[in-house]
Amino acid sequence: MLELFLPSQHVKSIFDITPETLQEKGVKGIITDLDNTLVEWDRPSATPKLIQWFENMRAHGILVTIVSNNNENRVKSFSDPLKIPFIFQARKPMGKAFRRAIKNMGLKREETVVIGDQLLTDVLGGNRNGFRTILVVPVARTDGLITKFNRRIERRILAFFKRKGMLEWEDPNE
């Protein structure tokens, strides 16, 4: 059961993920979370560095879809200027939004990676639905109310994985 919370890979930042390393693994598409994965949960738009990351993915033929549990206004106002498809109120870790994202991209699960900062939504949802998953260290040290609750549970799971030597994790709150 706990294996469902274990990401396929862990990185410090979205910027540690390159199109070349994804392509080596046969990845043609990314399903990514928005808040605290790409930018701080309270930052309204992409940073110049993130815009360049998206452009680099696009230049290498890697498709990207943002899948967020946040509301339409938040996700649309972030995604539209970047011309990145999105799914809002995704209800992660449920699978419907993940399946819709790969259908919209015209890809298979094995060609797609799920990237996010939360074990209880992104990693669990990706793993339960047969995707490769990449956990990133949250961009911000602060979270919204529901996420604060999730982080407490996540820290326990991450501590277990660390003790068992299953995952090296740098807790941003330590």
Dist. CA 3–CA 102, nearest whole Å = 23
Q: Is residue 90 part of a domain?
A: yes
Q: Is residue 153 part of a domain?
A: yes
Dist. CA 2–CA 171, nearest whole Å = 19
Q: Is residue 150 part of a domain?
A: yes
Q: Is residue 169 part of a domain?
A: no
Q: Which residues is 67 bridged to in the sheet?
A: 87
Q: What is the pLDDT of residue 156?
A: 87
- Mean pLDDT for 22-34 is 98
Q: Is residue 173 part of a domain?
A: no
Q: What is the pLDDT of residues 42-54, one digit of tens each?
A: 899 999 999 999 9
With residue 49 as reference, give the H or E element that holds it.
helix 48-59
Q: Is residue 101 part of a domain?
A: yes
CATH assignment of the domain containing 90: 3.40.50.1000
Q: Is residue 174 part of a domain?
A: no
CB neighbourhood size of 92 (10 A): 27
Q: What is the pLDDT of residue 146?
A: 66
How many domains does the chain fold into? 1
Q: Is residue 171 part of a domain?
A: no
What's the token pair of residue 171?
Answer: 């807790």
Is residue 174 very low, low, confident or very high in pLDDT (cuts 50, 70, 90)? very low
Greatest CA separation for the chain: 43
Give the residue numbers spanning the domain of 26.
2-163
